[in-house]
Chains A and B, each alone.
Chain A
Amino acid sequence: NAGVTQTPKFRVLKTGQSMTLLCAQDMNHEYMYWYRQDPGMGLRLIHYSVGEGTTAKGEVPDGYNVSRLKKQNFLLGLESAAPSQTSVYFCASSYSIWWDQPQHFGDGTRLSIL
């Protein structure tokens, strides 16, 4: 019963490098979200998807791109990494948008940009 799986768990990048974070869920959820967590700031929404083939901007989308080609996968891309993108990234998914169907989170990807 995997739930939400994030790959990789840790990564160190140099400024200007690119990479893709993968989120996979096995719960057949329609909705998927990418958040970042920084000290003292809680979690902030980067991008989200309301279904396969759809994406939308969240609160802090600049410097990131996303794709949802398959329902179970939600990819977060950094085209040219910057030190300000050093953070812990969490992916979440949910069956619906309502309070009785809460979002399930993965265990995060810790990303350091040097």
Chain B
Amino acid sequence: DQQVKQNSPSLSVQEGRISILNCDYTNSMFDYFLWYKKYPAEGPTFLISISSIKDKNEDGRFTVFLNKSAKHLSLHIVPSQPGDSAVYFCAASGAGSSNTGKLIFGQGTTLQVKP
């Protein structure tokens, strides 16, 4: 049972436009959510996170929105740049008192930003 889902395997946007990556989850006990970016032949790199007590977190061009009632989060990249082309993973953690920092990952979305 996939607790974290990224239903769009790929996304293509034009440079300068907004990229919106989506993620859905099923476990309402998750305490926080993270986005990682991954380039080929490299490990995932932390991008941005959000606690479940917030609905928005912003860091430069990257903003994550959390809608707990819909169990949905999204990552907005504005403006998109060719260097943003990578695989983006949504991850969740902290399911209540049993939290040990384990991350549950989505399947990933490949973003291509065209010049």
Q: Give A contacts to B, CB under 8 Å.
A: 4, 31, 33, 35, 40-45, 48, 50, 56, 58, 90, 92, 94, 96-100, 102-108
Q: Give B contacts to A, CB under 8 Å.
A: 4, 6, 9, 31-34, 36, 41-46, 49-51, 89, 91, 93-94, 99-108
CB pair A41–B107 under 8 Å, yes or no, is yes
- Please, could you name 15 A-B residue pairs with CB atoms under 8 Å apart, sorted by A? A4-B43, A35-B105, A42-B4, A42-B107, A43-B91, A44-B105, A45-B104, A50-B100, A50-B101, A58-B102, A92-B43, A98-B101, A99-B31, A99-B33, A103-B103
A18, chain B: closest CB distance, angstroms: 25
Q: Which residue of A lies closest to B103 (CB)?
A: A103
B96, chain A: closest CB distance, angstroms: 12
A43 contacts across to B, CB distance below 8 A: 44, 89, 91, 103, 105
CB pair B105–A103 under 8 Å, yes or no, is no
- In the complex where A42-B89, A99-B50 touch, is A105 in contact with B99 (Cβ < 8 A)? no
CB pair A90–B101 under 8 Å, yes or no, is no
Q: Which 8 A-B pairs have the closest CB atoms?
A: A97-B101, A105-B43, A99-B32, A42-B105, A102-B46, A43-B105, A42-B107, A99-B49
CB pair A102–B102 under 8 Å, yes or no, is no
CB pair A94–B41 under 8 Å, yes or no, is no
- In the complex where A90-B43, A107-B42, A108-B43 touch, is A96 in contact with B101 (Cβ < 8 A)? yes
B33 contacts across to A, CB distance below 8 A: 99
CB pair B100–A99 under 8 Å, yes or no, is no
